[in-house]
Structure 1
Amino acid sequence: MDNHVLVPVDGSRPARSALEYALEQFPDARLTLLYVVDPMIDYSRRQSFPGYTADDEHGTERQKGEAVLESLRETVPDDRTVETALEVGRPARVIVGYADDRGFDGIVLGSHGRAGSARYLLGSVAEQVVRRAGVPVTVVRGSNTE
């Protein structure tokens, strides 16, 4: 059976842990790394910092996504089949829709493990994906040294 596993990534340590887990636990699966560009990130950055010139490491969220995908692709062993994708929208909704539309066998994603008011205020992409996905979801907790 040719399993196809979706690994949503955002450049964080938990996302890297999820990729490492997927490589280890699904040695024969094709992997797709998905970066979701949240358009509100760029908007918020411009609104919060008037005069923002985008001279940081990545000028836009799309550029950051491309850099993250390229960086992670380089960590995958040459004998593994890995694809990358970059989509735009609300992360949880895009992840679930992408998995449903393309017939993935499972999703492996990282979680920051926030609790209390931080989780309430920031939401939990992992929790939303677990609740809405039509395929099995594995959540990999990030380290406490982020």
Structure 2
Amino acid sequence: MATHVLVPIDDSDQATKALEFALEEHADAQITALNVIDPSDFYAATGIEGGAMANYEQIRENHENRAKNLLEEASKRAADAGVEIETDHVLGGVSRTIIEYADEHDVDHVVIGSHGRTGASRILLGSVAERVARRSPVPVTIVR
């Protein structure tokens, strides 16, 4: 029986399903919803490759506000299910950061959506869920 479950959250339907699964299957455990802010998204948004420069700090702040909103929504979903969860957001490469977070915060199970990331990052980097499942120090449940 898991005592601390980590649920990576983004704005995908799969992440929502993963959270709902964790709330149903691990309601007695400590559940942490985690949003990882990928700094490579900042560079893509600034258009550095095209020569245009944008305000890096403003873009970072926008991503952090988005993370806070996603985590507030996760907390509301949990409260609706009668479960209290913890939330956190961190900056880093998505799969690596999820694995490190699990290791550093005594997580004993990860519940992750099957394919939350879309577009070029998924094509170029591969599946985050697959990387987490292969490299995680704890069991991983992938929710479709």
| TM-score with structure 2 setting the length | 0.82
Asked if residue 132 in structure 1 is aligned to residue 144 in structure 2, the reply is no
What residue is the counterpart of 1:3 in the other structure?
Answer: 3
Aligned residue type for 1:123: G
Q: 1:118 to 1:6 in 2, by over 3 A?
A: closer
| Contiguous gaps of at least 5 residues in structure 1 | 142-146
Quick one: distance in 2 between partners of 1:98 and 1:59? Answer: 22
Equivalent in 79, 84, 89 of residue 86 of structure 1: 89
Deviation at 1:71, TM superposition (A): 1.3
Moved more, 34-43 or 70-79: 70-79
Q: How many equivalent pairs are there? A: 136
- Report 1:19-38 matches (<5 A): 19-38=19-38
Quick one: distance in 2 between partners of 1:85 and 1:113? Answer: 18
What residue is the counterpart of 1:95 in the other structure?
Answer: 98
What residue is the counterpart of 2:63 in the other structure?
Answer: 61
Quick one: distance in 2 between partners of 1:74 and 1:113? Answer: 20
RMSD between aligned alpha carbons? 2.6
Aligned residue type for 1:6: L
| TM-score with structure 1 setting the length | 0.81
Quick one: distance in 2 between partners of 1:127 and 1:6? Answer: 16
Quick one: distance in 1 between partners of 2:121 and 2:69? Answer: 27
What residue is the counterpart of 1:144 in the other structure?
Answer: none
Q: Conserved in 2, the CA contact under 8 Å of 1:36 and 1:90?
A: yes
Residue aligned with 1:17, SS: helix
Aligned residue type for 1:66: K
Residue aligned with 1:77, SS: helix
- The C-alpha deviation readout for 1:92-145, integer Å capped at 9, x for no partner, is 01000000011111000002289xx9954241111110111110000011xxxx
